[in-house]
Chain A
Amino acid sequence: MKLLAAIWNDLATRVRAVNEKYREPRIPMTPMVRMSLIGLRVYLFTLVGLMLFKFVMLAR
């Protein structure tokens, strides 16, 4: 149990370090980049939702 907790803590520390290291996007946020990322969010929410819906329906 102690080993698992140690591994978990180590992983959490590493994830926090990664989040800190890559906190700010380095690519210049031009209108094209901003628009692409917004479009991507909309697309992914819609499509992944549809895929999950289909998967759940088939799995039932």
Chain B
Amino acid sequence: MDFPSRVYYGYRRALKALGLFFAIAGPGIIVMVADNDAGGITTYTTTGAQTGLHLLWFLILLGPVAYFVQEMTVRLGAVTKRGHAEAIFDSFGAFWGWFSLLDLVVTDWLTMITEFIGMTAALSIFHVPAWVTVLIAWAIMGAMITSGRYWTWEKAALVFCVINLIYVPAAFMIHPTVHEVLYNSLVPHFPPGGLTNDLFFLLMANIGTTIAPWMLFFQQSSVVDKGMQEKDIAFGKLDTAIGALLTVVVAMVLIVVTGKLLYGVQVDDAAAAAVKLMPISRYIGTFVAVGLFDAGLLGAICISLASSWAFGEVFGWAHSLNNNVREAPWFYAYYAFDLLLAGTVVLIPGAPLVLITLFVQVIATTLLPAALVFLILLLNDEKTMGPYKNTLFENAANIGITVLIIVLSTAYGVTTLFPNLLK
């Protein structure tokens, strides 16, 4: 084959691979970007306001952590063709199955409330009443899911993923120096004052928002619903890696924005950060508010689906987005119930919303080790996974991550009982 023919052949092959990737990509990018949900955005804005750019390196470390954990769900889903809830019931029996499902339902419901809190707070900046915001969210989410096609839902979700990148221009508008971003990204260190109880809580919240139990359930069910096969695993991994990169980029730019403009300012949540940014730059404040609404919406879309899929798998209901409402009534009924309940709680006057927001990340972090242990055990079951079981390196990475999370969760538990331990 002569040189021009080889170039042309290579070009055609690359084009075909790219087309195949775009057909397979979706679950990884969506789950990772949705990971930066309203709670996540609040965590990043408070992290920036409290610690400046000093914890950028920590966010970079969380990227590979999220990738290693999530890519296991791609393999598990593509090989077993079963969602995560069904896999746990089947492999570990009814006790651990119910535990996982209950864990998922509780954390999902609490997280859904925080998504609605985020959305209503974001649009309240533009004087939109909370009930109107809730109605808008219900309408968008209802329209997306009732299309009766997974493909349509996925493409709509990807549009919201692109909107989530609105924070990137905001970070460029404040012109951070390359040196300070690189130094704080590459040199691990704590902010002035060292490791305090508050800083420890912040680190825990950041871990909690980077990997959450619902993400495992969501991505595996999504991979199954999409119909991914073993041959698609490589592209599924790439999809997850790109998603992990995006989630870290969004987290970092948000920390840069609040770390540069609001460092030392008391910021309780992302909406408060947007309000405080408005006098400094109307564009940046608006970007943060719009991004917060989008993050809450994307989070709510994915979280409610994770629970609906899980219930469908366990009870044997039809549970695919390719089914219409008549074909899968219980799947859609649970989805609607989840949305209505979470949206309504936000509208109840005097509901302890701050307390719920505070605890949802921490509870998710505390319950995460259970989900990770199940995942690692499943990925080491040779009978099920065959050649796709965890390699030595994957086991080393994932067991290391799980042990680290267990140590941090335990340490957090101890410090809640003895608050002055680290002061």
Which residues on A are within 8 Å of B, measured CB to CB?
A: 14, 18-19, 21-28, 32-33, 36-37, 39-40, 43-44, 46-48, 50-51, 53-55, 58-59
27 contacts between A and B (CB under 8 A): A19-B94, A21-B89, A22-B94, A22-B97, A23-B93, A24-B93, A25-B96, A27-B91, A27-B377, A27-B378, A27-B381, A28-B381, A37-B92, A40-B373, A43-B370, A43-B406, A44-B370, A46-B410, A47-B413, A48-B366, A50-B413, A50-B414, A50-B417, A51-B416, A55-B355, A59-B352, A59-B355
- Are A51 and B366 touching (Cβ within 8 A)? yes
Whether the Cβ atoms of A50 and B315 lie closer than 8 Å is no
Chain B interface residues toward A at CB < 8 A: 89-94, 96-97, 314-315, 352, 355, 359, 362-363, 366-367, 369-370, 373, 377-378, 380-381, 383, 406, 409-410, 413-414, 416-417
4 closest cross-chain pairs (CB), A and B = A50-B413, A25-B93, A27-B91, A54-B416
Given contacts A22-B93, A43-B369, contact A51 B381 (CB under 8 A): no
A37 touching B96, Cβ below 8 Å: yes
Of all chain B residues, which has the CB nearest A50? B413
Q: Is the interface of B mostly helix, strand, loop or mixed?
A: helix
What is the CA–CA distance of A50 and B416 in the complex, to the nearest angstrom? 8
In the bound complex, how far is the Cα of B315 from the Cα of A36, in angstroms?
27
Q: Out of A22, A24, A40, which one reaches B370, CB within 8 Å?
A: A40
B94 and A36 contacting across the interface, CB-CB below 8 Å: no
Q: Are B355 and A58 in contact (CB under 8 A)?
A: yes
Distance from B248 Cβ to chain A, minimum over Cβ atoms (Å): 27
Instruction: For the complex formed, measure the closest distance between the CB of A42 and the CB atoms of chain B, giving whole angstroms.
Output: 11
| Complex: chain B residue closest to A44, CB-CB | B370
**CA A33 – CA B91 in complex, angstroms?**
11
Task: Name the prevailing secondary structure of the A interface residues.
Answer: helix
Question: Closest residue of chain A to B419, judged by CB?
Answer: A54
Q: Is the CB of A36 within 8 A of B373?
A: yes
A60 to B154, CA, bound (A): 43
Check B370–A18 contact: CB distance below 8 A.
no
Report B265 CB to chain A, min CB distance, Å: 25
In angstroms, Cα B406 to Cα A24, docked, is 27
In angstroms, Cα B377 to Cα A16, docked, is 26
For B314, give its contact among A18, A24, A51, A55 (CB under 8 Å): A18
B357 to chain A, nearest CB (A): 12
Q: Which of B91, B352, B380, B409 is in CB contact (< 8 Å) with A25?
A: B91
Contact B94 A51 (CB under 8 A): no
A14 in contact with B315 (CB, 8 Å): yes
Residues of chain B lying within 8 A (CB to CB) of residue A28: 381, 383
Question: Could you tell me if A46 and B91 are in contact, using CB atoms closer than 8 angstroms?
Answer: no
A19 and B377 alpha carbons, distance in the complex (Å): 21
Inter-chain contact A55/B417, CB cutoff 8 Å: no
B313 to chain A, nearest CB (A): 10
Alpha-carbon gap, A54 to B370, bound state (A): 20
Residues of B within 8 A of A43 (CB): 369-370, 406, 410
B406: A residues at CB distance < 8 A? 43
